[in-house]
Amino acid sequence: MGPPRSAVVAGGGQMMGWRSLMQPHRIVLMALFAGLVVWCAISLRWDWIPEYTPLAIEGAWRTIWILVVTTIAGFLLAIPLGLAQAIGPWYLSVPAKTFCTIIRGTPLLLQIWLLYYGLGSLFPQIPWIRGSELWPYLRQAWPYAVLALTLSYAGYEGEVMRGAFAGVNKGQLEAANAFGMPRFTMFRRIWLPQAIRNVLPTLGGETILQLKATPLVATITVVEAYAVSSRVRSDTFIVYEPLLLLAVFYMIIAGIIALLFRRFELKTGSRA
Amino acid sequence: MELILDTLGLAKSAELLSLSPPGWGGNLLRGLANSLQIAFGAFGFGLLIGLFGASGKLYGGVVIRDLLAIYTTVIRAVPELVLILILYYVGTDLINQAASAMGYGRVEISGVVAGIWVLGIVQGAYATEVLRGAIQAIPHGQIEAARAFGMPPFMLMRRVTIPAMMSYATPGLANLWLIATKDTALLAIVGFSELTLETRQAASSTRAYFTFFLAAGALYMIVTLFSGAVFGRIEKWARRGQPSLRGAGK
C-alpha cells in the first residue's frame, strides 16, 4: 500500500538542523512542551511505576522480540512471494497473489483470532499433535501471535517485493546472463540486493506499521507492552498515565526504526 | 442445494450462518453494517481534517505548520489501538465535563459517534499527507492562474485544487478507505459491536470458530474487492482528459 505507508519514514526521519530549531516560534513551542511535560510529571499520578517496572520491562522486551522475529521471518517469506508474482508461472503466481490479497483485505485482528481460537480449538482434537513434543508450545498463545504477525508482514511485503523485483534494470540481469553467471548467484548478487535497496524506504514504513500491529496480540493473552498498560489500568483505575507512557514508548521505538533504516539507506545509497 | 451442502459437509455451517435465529448470519450482517457506518463516517471526517491539514501544511504560517507536523508524526508513530483508547477516554471525559458544567448528569456516548471521532482523527493524519502530496503534484501555474484572476481561496479550492488533485489523490485515498474499513475491527477491543466482535461472540457461543471467522473474512474481502472496483472507476473518472501513459516507460 503506497503513500501513507512510505510517508511514515519520511516524516520520522526528518533531520532538523540546530539552526532550524532555534527559530523564535519553535523555542516558544518547545518551552510550552517542556511545561506540559513538567505539569504531567507533577500533577499526574506516577506512584504505580515502581511496582510495575519489572513487568513493564518484560512486556517491552517481548514487544521488541516479537517485532524483530516477525519482520525477519515475514521478509524471508515475502521474497519467494514477490518472486512468484513477478516472474513465476501461473501455478505459483496465482496462489501468491491470492495470499497477498486475502492478507491485505482482512483485518489483522480477525486473522489473529482465527489462528488462535480456530487452530487452538482444532489442535486438541488431533491425537498426534497432543502427543508431539511441540504440544507444550502450541498450548501457549505466543506461537499463534508470531505466526499471524509473520503471515501479515509477508502478505504486505510480498506485494512490495513484487514491484521491487520487477523494477530492477533488465540490462543488468542480461549482462549477468551473458557472463554465464549461474541463476542463483545472479539472484543473490545482483537481483535481490538491488530490489531490496530500491524499496528500503517502503520497508522502513512497513516495519513501523508492524510495530503498531504488535499490541493486537495482547488480545490473545500475550503479555507485551500494551497488555502491561491494560493491566495497570484495570488494577489501579489510572487511565491516562500508562497510556501516555506507552505512546512515548512506541514513539521511541518508531524513531529508532526510522533512524536504523535511514542508516541502511545512506549506506546502500538508496537515498541520494 | 441442501444435497450439495450435505455432501460437502457444510450443512452445519450453513445452519449456523442462516440469517434467522438460531443462525448468526443476521448478527454478522448487523455488525458489518455498523462497521461500514463507522468506516464511512471516519473516512469522511478524516478527509475533512486532511483537507484543512494539507492547506495548513502548504499555505499556513510557521506555527500551524509545526503543529500539523507534530500531529501527523505522532499519530503515525503510535499504534491505532493505543490512540483509540486515549482518544476514547479523552472524548468521554471532555463530554462528561461539559455535560456536568451545563448541569446534566453523565452522558452515555454512542459507539458509532465515538468510533467515528476516534478513527477520524487517525485517518486525518494520513489524509493530510496524501492530500498534501496530491496538491503539490498539481502544476503550480494552474493555481497561480486562478489567483491571478482574483479567485477567492474557497472558490479556488472548489474549482481548481480539488478537481485537479483528484487523479493524484485517488490511489492514496483508496488505501485510506481500506485502512478505515479494517481499523473498525479495532473498536472490538473497546467493546463496540462491529463485525469482528459479533463474529467472536457468535464463534465463542457456538464453538464453531473456523466457520464464523472465515465467514467474517469473506465479508471483509467482499468489501475490499468491491471498493477496489469502485475506486478504480473513480480514478478513471478523475483521470479523464489526461493522456494515457501506457507503454510510455518502455
B239 touches chain A (CB under 8 A): no
Chain A to chain B Cβ contacts (< 8 Å): 145
- What number is the average pLDDT over the span A105-123? 89
Instruction: Give me the residue from A104, A109, A254 closest to B77, CB to CB.
Output: A254
pLDDT digits over A178-234, tens only? 999 998 899 899 899 988 888 888 899 899 999 999 999 998 888 889 999 999 988
- What number is the average pLDDT over the span A83-111? 91
The angle subtended at Cα A205 by Cα A203 and Cα A210, nearest 5°, is: 90
B3 pLDDT exceeds 70? Answer: no
Output the CA torsion sign for B28, B29, B34, B40.
positive
- Which residue ranges make up each domain of chain B? 27-238
Lowest mean pLDDT among A55-69, A109-123, B37-51, B231-245: B231-245
Report DSSP state, residue A124: G
CB-based contact B220 A110, cutoff 8 Å: yes
A5 pLDDT exceeds 60? Answer: no
Block residue for cell numbers 462528561: B96
Look over chain B and give the mean of its residue pLDDT values, rounded to a whole number.
85
Residues 6 or more apart in contact with residue A106 via CB below 8 angstroms: B182, B217, B220, B221, B224
Lowest mean pLDDT among A157-161, B3-7, B58-62, B166-170: B3-7
Which chain B residues have a beta carbon less than 8 Å from that of A107?
182-186, 196, 220
pLDDT of residue A7: 42
pLDDT of residue A27: 86
CATH of domain B27-238: 1.10.3720.10
Lowest mean pLDDT among A199-203, B139-143, B212-216, B244-248: B244-248
Question: All domains of chain A, ordered by start, with CATH?
Answer: 62-221 (1.10.3720.10)
A1 pLDDT exceeds 50? Answer: no
pLDDT of residue B53: 93
Please give the Cα distance from A211 to B186 (Å, whole number): 15
% of chain A at pLDDT higher than 70: 92
CB-based contact B79 A23, cutoff 8 Å: no
- What number is the average pLDDT over the span B80-93? 87
CB-based contact A247 B86, cutoff 8 Å: yes
pLDDT of residue B127: 93
Which chain A residues have a beta carbon less than 8 Å from that of B203?
117
Chain B residue whose CA is closest to A121: B209
B207 touches chain A (CB under 8 A): yes
pLDDT of residue A6: 42
B229 pLDDT exceeds 60? Answer: yes
ipTM of the complex: 0.83
- Residue B126: which pLDDT band, with cuts at 50, 70 and 90? very high
CB-based contact A243 B89, cutoff 8 Å: yes
Look over chain A and give the mean of its residue pLDDT values, rounded to a whole number.
86
A13 pLDDT exceeds 50? Answer: no
